Amino acid sequence: MTLVKEFVGTWKLKSYEVRWASGKVSYPFGESPEGRLTYTEEGFVAVNIMATSRRNFEARELKLGTAEEKVAAAETYISYSGRYGLDGDKIRHHVDVCLFPNWVGKDQVRIYDLQGDTLALKTIPDPRDEQGRQGYLIWERIK
């Protein structure tokens, strides 16, 4: 995999939507999610995305939160990091650590379109997904 300096920097999430083959559109983290994506020159990537409508826990510590609070927090946030590289028109994020344990040790592959300081990432369709869902994320470089 090749590293490309045009990706290096920090990016702010502008939009995240899931589109179905039927034309339906949904917003997994609401219509105004927050997110940061960072690519380093050394080949590391870090991704954080959250809903802006997240509720605070009653307790002051994560471990003291109720089961319902923890579920709600996990359902409105995703985070992972690892190494990245380019593979043709795709960027591969090799996940080393992640909130969702099923992704650890695997690649998150995205089709990319980089236009100056705007980066569009599209998920690869899962052939097992009969609904034809794809994620579309638009990022803006903030340096």
Q: Which CATH architecture has domain 5-141?
A: Beta Barrel (2.40)
Q: Distance between alpha carbon 60 and the CA centroid of its chain, in Å?
A: 27
Percent of the chain with pLDDT over 70: 97
Which tops the pLDDT comparison, 131 or 117? 117
| Cα Rg of the chain, angstroms | 16
CA distance 92 to 107: 6
pLDDT (mean) for 88-92: 94
Query: Domain residues of the chain, as ranges?
Result: 5-141
Encode pLDDT of 21-48 as tens digits.
888 999 999 999 999 999 999 999 999 9
Residue 105 gets the label, from left (phi > 0), alpha (psi -120 to 50) or beta, of left
Residue 136 has pLDDT above 60, yes or no: yes
Query: Where does the pLDDT of residue 2 fall: very low under 50, low under 70, confident under 90, or very high at 90 and above?
Result: low
Residue 119: its pLDDT value, please? 96
Whole-model pTM: value is: 0.90
Query: Where does the pLDDT of residue 125 fall: very low under 50, low under 70, confident under 90, or very high at 90 and above?
Result: confident
Query: Could you tell me if 119 and 7 are in contact, meaning their C-beta atoms sit under 8 angstroms apart?
Result: yes
